[in-house]
Each structure stands twice: as C-alpha cells, then as structure tokens.
Amino acid sequence: MQNIEEIYQEYFDTVKKYLFCLTKNIDISEELTQETFYRAVKKIDTYKGDCKISVWLIQIAKNLWYDQCRKNKKITDITEDEMLNERINNTIEEQIISKEEKIALYKKMQKLDSKTREVIYLRITGELSFKEIGNILNKTENWARVTFYRGKNKMKEGDFNE
C-alpha cells in the first residue's frame, strides 16, 4: 500500500474537484478536502482494500459534505441523490480538452440533474468503473451505466429542458 503522502499527492485534486462540484464553493471544497485527508489518516487502519483508495476517499468526502449540510441546516427532506453534484466529460478515453472547452463543459454540467452529474464526475475524475459508482451511490452497475450514457447524450445534444 502507498504511504499517506503518496495517496495525498495522487488523490488530492480528485477529491477537491469532487467536493467543488458538490459545494460550488472553492473555500469550502478546500476545507473539506483537508478534512477528508485528515480523517483518512486517522482511519487508515479501517481501509480494508476491498475498493480503490479513491472510492474510499470520495466516500469520506461525501459524508463530510452531508455532515456539514446537516450542521448548517441546508438539508431537511432532501434525498442523497438530490444533494449530489458532479462534473462531466464525454468519456475517460477522450483526449484532454482545452481550458476554454472545460469551462464550457462545466457550465453545461451544472444544467444536468444532480444524479447524472454525480455519475459522470465519478466516472471521469475518479476513473471509477460503473460497478464502483453504483456501489458508492447505492445503485446498480447498470443504473450507473445508463445514467452516464444519458447524461453524455444530453451534453452533446444540449437538451436541458426538463
């Protein structure tokens, strides 16, 4: 297993981007990212290795965000899926896009429903399998695959009227 410094270096940006998509606030996302790694260091002995370390870190980050929302009374009867946000790209296999294209892509992403953003973000930034995404979101692998495909098509078609 990697040491915590290597894990931090490798996954810091992924966790921070994930949290930024949830919070839409750079300061909060940075603070929660630091807290995520702090908790990871404290609880590293609970990591069993039955999922990728990135999945484990994202779950910690997601739980911290939920905790903060509850503390700030930002959520009442909102479901988990309604709270989630994520970033989108066409596929993992595609080449890196320019900064301008990324900005346009992020703007389109924000028009997608939260479930779709979450799936696409985890697929692209976390490079997670559909099975892993399904596990994180308590859904099936097929649900994650279909949600990703539909979201990608919405992005291509610009069909955001719901």
pLDDT in tens, 82-134: 444 333 333 333 333 455 666 777 777 788 888 888 888 788 777 788 888 89
Residue 143's pLDDT band (boundaries 50, 70, 90)? very high
Structure tokens at 7: 């894990």
**Averaged pLDDT for residues 130-140:** 89
Q: Is 84 helix (H, G, I), strand (E, B) or coil?
A: coil
The dihedral built from the CA positions of residue 14, 129, 23 and 56, taken in this order, carries a sign that is: negative
**Averaged pLDDT for residues 35-44:** 88
Please give the CATH architecture assigned to the domain spanning 4-78.
Orthogonal Bundle (1.10)
Where in the chain are the domains?
Answer: 4-78, 81-157
Largest pairwise CA distance in the chain: 47
Quote the pTM value: 0.50
Give the chain's radius of gyration (CA, Å): 15
CATH of segment(s) 81-157: 1.10.10.10
41 pLDDT exceeds 60?
yes
pLDDT in tens, 47-95: 877 778 888 888 899 889 888 887 776 544 444 444 443 333 333 333 3
The dihedral built from the CA positions of residue 55, 21, 79 and 73, taken in this order, carries a sign that is: positive
The dihedral built from the CA positions of residue 158, 83, 66 and 40, taken in this order, carries a sign that is: negative
